[in-house]
Each structure stands twice: as structure tokens, then as C-alpha cells.
Amino acid sequence: MADRYEKWDRTVSDPGDASGRSTGNISPEAGSDTVCAISTPPGRGGIGIIRVSGPDAEKLLMRIFRPVRKGPLEDHRLTYGHIVDPVSGAVVDEVLAVFMKGPHTYTAEDTAEIDGHGGRVPLKRTLALLVREGARLAEPGEFTERAFLNGRLDLSQAEAVMDIISARTDRSLSAAVTQLSGGLSGRVRAIRKDLLDLRVELAVNIDYPDEDIEVLTYEKLSKGFSEAASGLARLSASGRTGRILRDGLRVVILGRPNVGKSSLMNSLLRSSRAIVTDIPGTTRDTIEESLDLQGIPVVLTDTAGIRDTEDQVEALGVSRSRESVRSADLTLFLLDGAEGMTEEDRVIARELAPEKTIVLINKEDKGNQVSEKELETILPGVQVLIGSVKNGTGMDDLENAIVRFALGREGYAAAGKSPESAMENDPVVVTNVRHQALLREARERVEDALRLVSERAPFEVIDLDAEEAYLDLGLIVGEEVSDDLLKEVFSRFCLGK
């Protein structure tokens, strides 16, 4: 029964779609948020334009655009530079960008335009960056709609706007159905049904305190929400696999100076099919290298590339390094086996999350002074490999460990060894950004509910999160929320005078 508009605002559409069209719906408050879309027709044209409109247009542009000539952007003037992922530091495209202050723009709002290379891949990546940084994908006709609501168009044009909006209902409805693989909708429906069952029990317990019904315990709620959470986690994991297969696994190499970071990077690059990036100007001077490990695209960042001469301990405190570790999917942490753990190593280790770290004890040919016991204390459960980059020992293990990490344990087991077969065995790969966002949202809500259960929070508070998660999942499978909660209440429980 929640406010439908609340959901609308949160809905993001699939940047994979040429028009930015989505199954979502527009914000009823034009101008209250910032929207973006690819505004050139799909195809292999020379350039593609991304338009960003709304109060945060300038902020968003400056988050991802690095002009070659430093300094603030001039209003209404094209500037040359690069689109750079602010989190990983990866260069995405070489572009011309312009910021135009409202109201002298098409929508009368602050507007940014990015003229990039026409290939779909860089455009989509740029668009995905904007969405990640907080923009919402525009609905078809939304720029025009905003232009009208902001007084830019005359009345006769308004009629056209309404036609565009109404046309998108049918399209988005059919899109909602076709974008779903049977596997995904089946799983989402199943989890949604489980959530509904929990909500039904909550509702009955709240609204029928005097009835002869089983008292709902926190244990039961905890079990139910845990199951839903792990179901969603599995789906998100497949979403993660999907994302990794699409965007690459982000791996960062970390360690003290002279521990062998550059050698490791070179070794990994040698052993793999190096990918020549399709983005011009990013091959040589980049701090990132893309490679392909057993079919898994990997984006390798060598912190050595930035900071090898500096004190790593201090460098970790620097936001850039810390950021790249934080945003990486996986950190390869190098230790010098001959020297053992130093104080610097310990400081670095404490910053790391064991579940997304692989420790490689290098230079094993010169002995191994590293206390695994100590490692285990600082990074409980972390995976530790021993080898020598120079001699090439342990490198296969490392490669396999990275691939296994990319696929997740279950995926790898199912795959035997080949990631392609892993995908066949697990057809539910969530590649749609909107679905991923909703799944993530639903999972967060369920985890919130779980936390509230552990705090013994009141049922009606727990139900708030359960309801949100239920509605999010409903948006994925395109089911209308109606009387289903109460219908279930009365069909499952015998209630009343």
C-alpha cells in the first residue's frame, strides 16, 4: 500500500536501451531531480551525445569529466577532456563536453551535454557512470516534458508531449515483460511470495491480536527474512557475475615498495590475452590494464603506477589509493616472504576487507617468514597463496583464485572450470541495471528488516521494510500491488466474529 511515487523516483532505467526508455516511470515533479539519456539515435555514428538536465547537471558532469585544460568550465562553451570513472580512476572516453546554465537551455534547466564516441560501449559506460553518481535515466519525451513544464514550449507543443508520454505506457509495459528472463522472474516471484507470506503473518498478528492463531515469533521472522535475504543475495550475486562479465572484475594490487607489484602486473599481463582497449588515448599512459583471464574480463589497477616512490603506508591514507581499494572487487595484497610482515604491512592489512582480499606471499624462493597466524588475526578467513612472481611459481593458483572469485564459489563449482559453462548452468544473470538496482534495494530492505528483527523492533516497523522490499520486487516482475496482502490474510487465516 505504499506510496507509488516513492518507488517511481527510485526507479532507474536500463542504460542498455538506446533511447534510455525503461519500464520505470517519470518523476511527477519535473525538475526536482536530474535526468540523463543518450540523445542521438542508436547506430554506429561517429559521435553520440549524452544530455543531462536538472539541478545537479553541473555537479554530475564535474564528477566524471576531466578537462584537459584545468579550471572551471565556461558556460555554454565546448571543452575537450576525458570521462573518468571517479571511483576507479579509469578513463572511459575522450569527449567534448559543455555545461549550460539554465534557463537558456532546451529544458530551461541546468544542462550538460557530452559529445562522445559514437560506439555504444563508451556511451553506455558514461551513462552508467552518471546513473551511479545519482542521475536518473530520462523517460522518452521527458526532456520535452520538462521543457514544457518549465515554460519553454508553447501550448500546441504540449499536446505532442502528452502523446509521447502516453505512447510510452504501452511500450514500457511490453518492455517490462520481454526484458525478463523466465528464470529471473520465477525466482523473484518466489522470493516475493515468501515476503508476502511474512507480511501476511505480521498483518494477522497485528490486526487480530485476540484470534486463535499461531503467535508470530521473532525466530520465525528471522528465519524467513534470512532466507529471503540469501535468495536475494544469490540473485544479486548473479547480478554481480553479470556485471563482472560485462564491465570486468576490478582488481587492485597493493603492497609495500619493492614487494613485486609491477612484476606481478607484468606477469599477469603476459599470461593473459591482453585486451586492447577500444577507447582511444587510454592504452599507454593509463594506470589501468585490461586483461582476460580464462574468459573473465579483468581491470587491473597497479597502485605502484601511481605511488611506487611514495611511502605506501602514508599513501593508503590518501584518498585516491584508499578509494581504489574500496571500489575494487578484489585486492591482491603482496607480502615479501623473505622479510616477513613489517609494521607497514600490518597498517595496510588492517585497512583491508578479508572477504575481498587475496594475500600473495611473494619471494617464497627466498624463504617465508610471514606468520600465517598473525595474518589470520588481522584478516580472519583471508585466502593466502604462496609463490614467486619472478620464478612463476604459484601464478596458476593465483589466476584460478581470481577467476573463482569472479564467479563466486557456486558459479565456479557449477562451471567445472569454464566460465562460459558456468553461465549456461546459471541462466539467471541479471544484466539489466534497473533490475539490479531494485534487487539491491530489496536486499537492503530485507537486511534492514533482519536487523530490526534482531533488535526486537515492533512488528509494524519491521513491516515497513518488508513492504518496501515486496514493492521493489513487484516492480521487477511488473506486478501491480493491490489487495493481495489482505486477500492472503483472509484466505489463509480463519478470522472474525
Partner 1 sequence: MEKILLGNYDVCVIGAGHAGCEAALACARMGIRTLMFSINLEAIAMMPCNPAIGGTGKGHLVREIDALGGEMAVNIDKTFLQSRMLNTSKGPAVHSLRAQADKQAYHTEMKKTLERQPNLDIKQDEVIDIDVEEGVVKGVQTRTGAYYTCRAVVIATGTFLGGKIFIGLSHFSSGPNGLAPSITLSESLKKRGMSLRRFKTGTPARALAETFDYEKMDRQEGDEPIVPFSFMNDELHRDQASCWLTYTNERTHDIIRRNFQRSALFGGEIQGVGPRYCPSIEDKIHRFPDRKRHQLFIEPEGENTSEMYIQGMSSSLPEDVQRDFYHTIPGLEHIKITRPAYAIEYDCIDPQELTPGLAYRKWKGLFCAGQFNGSSGYEEAAAQGLMAGINAARFIQGRPPFVLDRSEAYIGVLIDDLVTKGTNEPYRIMTSRAEYRLVLRQDNADTRLTEKGYQLGLVTEERYQKYLWKKASVEEEIHRLETAHISPKEAEGFILSVGGAPLKQGCSLAALLKRPEVSYQNMEVVDKGRPLLPAHVIDEVAVRIKYEGYIAMQDRRIAKFRKLEDRRLPEDADYSGIQGLRIEARQKLDRIRPRSVGQASRISGVSPADISVLLVWLEKERRRHGGQQE
**Does the footprint of partner 1 cover residue 458 (CB under 8 A)?**
yes
* Contact stretch for partner 1 (CB under 8 A) within 52-60, 72-80, 372-380, 484-492: 484-492
Q: Which residue's CB is nearer to partner 1, number 25 or number 431?
A: 25
Least CB distance to partner 1 at residue 182 (A): 25
How many chain residues touch partner 1 (CB under 8 A)? 56
Read off the amino acid at residue 43: G
How far apart CA 298 and CA 292 sit, in angstroms, is 6
Least CB distance to partner 1 at residue 15 (A): 20
Q: Are 312 and 257 in contact (CB under 8 A)?
A: yes
Category of 231 on φ-ψ map: left (φ > 0), alpha (ψ -120 to 50) or beta: alpha
Q: Select from 208, 368, 384, 440 the one that contacts partner 1 (CB under 8 A).
A: 208
Binding-site string for partner 1 from residue 78 to residue 117, where x marks contact by CB under 8 A and - marks none: ----------------------------------------
**Does the footprint of partner 1 cover residue 278 (CB under 8 A)?**
no
Q: Which residue's CB is nearer to partner 1, number 26 or number 423?
A: 26
Inter-axis angle of helices 459-477 and 218-247, nearest 10? 30
* Contact stretch for partner 1 (CB under 8 A) within 45-53, 241-249, 252-260, 477-485: 477-485
Q: Are 477 and 435 in contact (CB under 8 A)?
A: no
Q: Which residue's CB is nearer to partner 1, number 161 or number 358?
A: 161
Using CB under 8 A as the binding rule, the residues of this chain from 124 to 143 that contact partner 1 are none
Give the 3-state DSSP-derived string for 280-345, with helices as H, strands as E and coil as C: CCCCCCCCEEEEEECCEEEEEEEHHHHHCCCCHHHHHHCHHHHHHHHHCCEEEEEEECCCCCCHHH
**Does the footprint of partner 1 cover residue 44 (CB under 8 A)?**
no
Residue 66: partners with Cβ closer than 8 Å, 6 or more residues away: 81, 82, 83, 84
**Does the footprint of partner 1 cover residue 310 (CB under 8 A)?**
no
Q: Are 426 and 411 in contact (CB under 8 A)?
A: yes
Q: Are 332 and 318 in contact (CB under 8 A)?
A: no
Q: Are 405 and 358 in contact (CB under 8 A)?
A: yes
Q: Which residue's CB is nearer to partner 1, number 247 or number 479?
A: 479
Between CA 335 and CA 339, with CA 338 as vertex, the angle to 5 degrees is: 70
Q: Select from 37, 235, 358, 489 the one that contacts partner 1 (CB under 8 A).
A: 489
Binding-site string for partner 1 from residue 157 to residue 196, where x marks contact by CB under 8 A and - marks none: -xx-xxx-xx-xx--x------------------------
Least CB distance to partner 1 at residue 155 (A): 6
Q: Which residue's CB is nearer to partner 1, number 49 or number 464?
A: 464
Q: Select from 19, 205, 301, 388 the one that contacts partner 1 (CB under 8 A).
A: 205
**Does the footprint of partner 1 cover residue 203 (CB under 8 A)?**
yes
Least CB distance to partner 1 at residue 151 (A): 5
- What are the C-alpha distances in Å from 386 to residues 172, 273, 368, 393, 399? 53, 24, 9, 8, 13
| Short-list 253, 256, 265, CA closest to 395 | 265
Q: Select from 209, 276, 284, 373 the one that contacts partner 1 (CB under 8 A).
A: 209
Q: Select from 47, 269, 378, 464 the one that contacts partner 1 (CB under 8 A).
A: 464
* Contact stretch for partner 1 (CB under 8 A) within 206-214, 318-326, 331-339, 397-405: 206-214
Q: Which residue's CB is nearer to partner 1, number 371 or number 454?
A: 454
The rounded radius of gyration (Å) of the Cα atoms in the chain is 26
How far apart CA 35 and CA 12 sit, in angstroms, is 10
**Does the footprint of partner 1 cover residue 219 (CB under 8 A)?**
no
Q: Which residue has cell 502523446?
A: 163
Category of 379 on φ-ψ map: left (φ > 0), alpha (ψ -120 to 50) or beta: beta
Residues at the contact surface with partner 1, assessed by CB under 8 A: 1-6, 8-9, 25-26, 28-30, 145, 148-149, 151, 155, 158-159, 161-163, 165-166, 168-169, 172, 203, 205-212, 455-461, 463-464, 480, 482, 485-486, 489-490, 494-497
